[in-house]
């Protein structure tokens, strides 16, 4: 019997281990625990930077899995850091210079050509990806941009995110007319744009992790209500929702949008970009009723 925990083998039993972000911990039962299974979730797996650390509080076995520090986040978001930031020089908004996959991906989520120009969402042939800029809400300074995989045969990370070195966690803040003083927190840029089209303030976290600084920004903006609307599709996301809710409830009334609130099947995608503005309005109104 091995004297250490095989974290890769544990991940096959509980795939949520692969979704852990830095600082997160997952508790699970220890399969075939040498001290016997007492039915409790006493095997802890913790993400520490590029390492996963495992420890069973029942038998005392330990394990370490070290990976490359590639900053992988939910959705395959490979984070790259730059001192200076510029959009790709070949960025184009012309349909005749863009592949069909790029056009289809945007239009299937209701992103019109007008929205693409407004938010500078374009295509880069050099990168072979859709470009999604993140600018400072006031002043328009480029803080980060994402390169989204859309082409068939591209098996790289779904998102490649490049940010300024001093901007630790860039947040995309959609602009436009808004209803009331409610903020909708979402994962991705297209979802933020769709929620904004429905008339609400919307910030995209570029993933499912929220820093304390975002909670401070929420307090500074004096939002009365915050709705956390992530793609509620696995254990890691639900854990993240709980952490976010705990941080935000100190400064605002907070609600979490779940699959059952949207009346969709459990295996359906539930992020806002999958819905029309009218459907988004109804879902939020129902949640806050």
User: What does the pLDDT read at residue 165?
Assistant: 80
For the chain, domains (ranges, CATH) are 7-66 (no CATH), 73-164 (no CATH), 172-288 (3.40.1360.10)
CB of 63 within 8 A of CB of 5?
yes
Residues 37-57, mean pLDDT to the nearest whole number: 82
pLDDT at 69: 39
Mean pLDDT of 175-185: 83
pLDDT value, residue 73? 47
Q: Residue 275: which region, alpha, beta or left (left: phi > 0; alpha: psi -120 to 50)? A: beta
For residues 164 and 10, give the distance between their C-alpha atoms in angstroms, rounded to a whole number.
36
Whole-number pLDDT of residue 233: 65
**Predicted confidence (pLDDT) per residue in 76-132, tens digit:** 566 667 778 899 999 999 999 999 999 999 999 999 999 999 999 999 999 999 999
DSSP single-letter state for residue 168: S
Q: Convert the pLDDT of each residue in 140-175 to its tens digit.
A: 999 999 999 999 988 777 888 888 888 878 999 998
Confidence bin at 269 (pLDDT 50/70/90): confident
Q: Helices 235-248 and 212-221: crossing angle, nearest 10°?
A: 50
Q: Where are the beta strands (DSSP E) in the chain?
A: 25-28, 43-48, 51-56, 62-66, 72-73, 77-82, 122-124, 129-135, 142-148, 159-164, 172-173, 182-186, 201-204, 225-228, 253-256
pLDDT in tens, 209-267: 898 899 999 999 999 999 999 987 677 788 889 999 999 999 999 999 988 888 776 66
What is the pLDDT, as a whole number, of residue 206?
A: 92
Q: If pLDDT is split at 50, 70 and 90, which confidence band does 208 have?
A: confident
Model-level pTM? 0.73
Partner residues linked to 203 by β-bridges:
173, 185
């Amino acid at each position: 019997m091995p004297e250490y925990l095989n974290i890769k083998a544990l991940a096959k039993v509980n795939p949520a281990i692969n979704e852990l972000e830095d600082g997160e911990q997952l508790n699970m039962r220890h399969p075939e625990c040498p001290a016997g299974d007492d039915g409790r979730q006493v095997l802890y797996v913790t993400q520490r930077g590029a390492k996963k650390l495992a420890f069973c509080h029942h038998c005392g076995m330990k394990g370490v899995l070290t990976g490359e520090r590639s900053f992988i986040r939910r959705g395959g978001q490979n984070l790259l850091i730059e001192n200076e930031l510029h959009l790709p020089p070949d960025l184009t908004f012309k349909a005749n210079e863009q592949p069909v996959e790029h056009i289809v991906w945007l239009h299937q989520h209701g992103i019109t050509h007008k929205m693409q120009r407004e938010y500078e969402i374009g295509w880069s042939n050099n990168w072979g990806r859709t470009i999604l800029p993140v600018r400072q809400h006031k002043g328009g300074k480029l803080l980060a941009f994402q390169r989204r995989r859309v082409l068939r045969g591209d098996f790289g990370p779904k998102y490649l995110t490049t940010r300024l070195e001093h901007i630790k966690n860039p947040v995309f803040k959609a602009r436009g007319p808004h209803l009331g003083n409610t903020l909708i927190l979402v994962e991705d840029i297209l979802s933020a744009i769709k929620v904004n089209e429905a008339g609400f303030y919307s910030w995209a976290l570029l993933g499912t992790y929220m820093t304390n600084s975002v909670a401070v920004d929420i307090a500074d903006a004096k939002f009365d209500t915050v709705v956390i609307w992530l793609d509620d599709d696995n254990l890691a996301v639900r854990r993240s929702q709980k952490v976010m809710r705990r941080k935000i409830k100190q400064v605002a009334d907070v609600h979490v949008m779940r699959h059952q609130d949207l009346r969709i099947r459990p295996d359906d995608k539930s992020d806002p970009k999958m819905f029309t503005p009218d459907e988004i309005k109804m879902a939020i109104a129902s949640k806050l009723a």
